[in-house]
Chain A
Amino acid sequence: QVQLVESGGGVVQPGRSLRLSCAASGFIFISHGMHWVRQAPGKGLEWVAFISYDGSNKYYGDSVKGRFTISRDNSKNTLDLQMNSLRAEDTAVYYCAKDQQMFTIPGPYGMDVWGQGTTVTVSS
């Protein structure tokens, strides 16, 4: 079945780094752009980053630009999020999600498949 499984979350000190991964299965990974979305405790959903199907286009939210890097390995069907210079406000559940649009940047069709989320806690 179509599935996304995140891993790599944990507790990290402010200023340190963490790398999240997302393993995809059950669909043609190379055909779709992928997103990271997060939800801080008691807060709403926040879009974090997008990478196009071939990795040529990458976009970031204002709060993570310059600190986070999204990447993908289409040979392994994996998506990553390298998070550097972490802050307390980065504490959240991080979800990877599949964009419904194929072979281009996001279209009007939204994120139709989501992982279960991985928790990142930034604390000293």
Chain B
Amino acid sequence: DIQMTQSPSSLSASVGDRVTITCRASQSIRTYLNWYQKKPGKAPKLLISAASSLESGVPSQFSGSGSGTDFTLTISSLQPEDYATYYCQQSYSSPYTFGQGTMLEIK
């Protein structure tokens, strides 16, 4: 099974800050990497697919990069509505594992 490891597990940041979350796969997954935003009581929301493709309707302050085993999610300027937990997920091979999540909190 492919293990997905995110860092950090939690992060405190202020509105307007630039934030980077990393995700590492235990083996190469090419660009089969997706990022989701999860807020309490809400369904997960797909932000970025195929490592760097911004989903329709997702604000442009979100961006993704990487290939192989190392990936990043960047929020260029934090907005109040961005405080949430972020998950990476590999869709390269079953089981289609998620990272453990990164909780983004208000500083």
Contacts and interface: CB of A to CB of B under 8 A. Distances in A.
Decide if A and B are genuine partners: yes
Nearest to A65: B95
B1 interface: yes
A107 B50 CA distance: 8
Interface stretch (A24-32, A42-50, A80-88): A42-50
Contacts, number: 79
26 contacts: A35-B96, A44-B87, A44-B99, A45-B38, A45-B89, A45-B98, A46-B98, A47-B97, A60-B94, A95-B44, A99-B91, A107-B91, A108-B32, A109-B49, A109-B50, A109-B53, A109-B91, A110-B34, A110-B46, A110-B49, A110-B89, A110-B91, A111-B34, A111-B46, A112-B55, A114-B43
Interface of B: 1, 30-34, 36, 38, 43-46, 49-51, 53, 55, 85, 87, 89, 91-92, 94-101
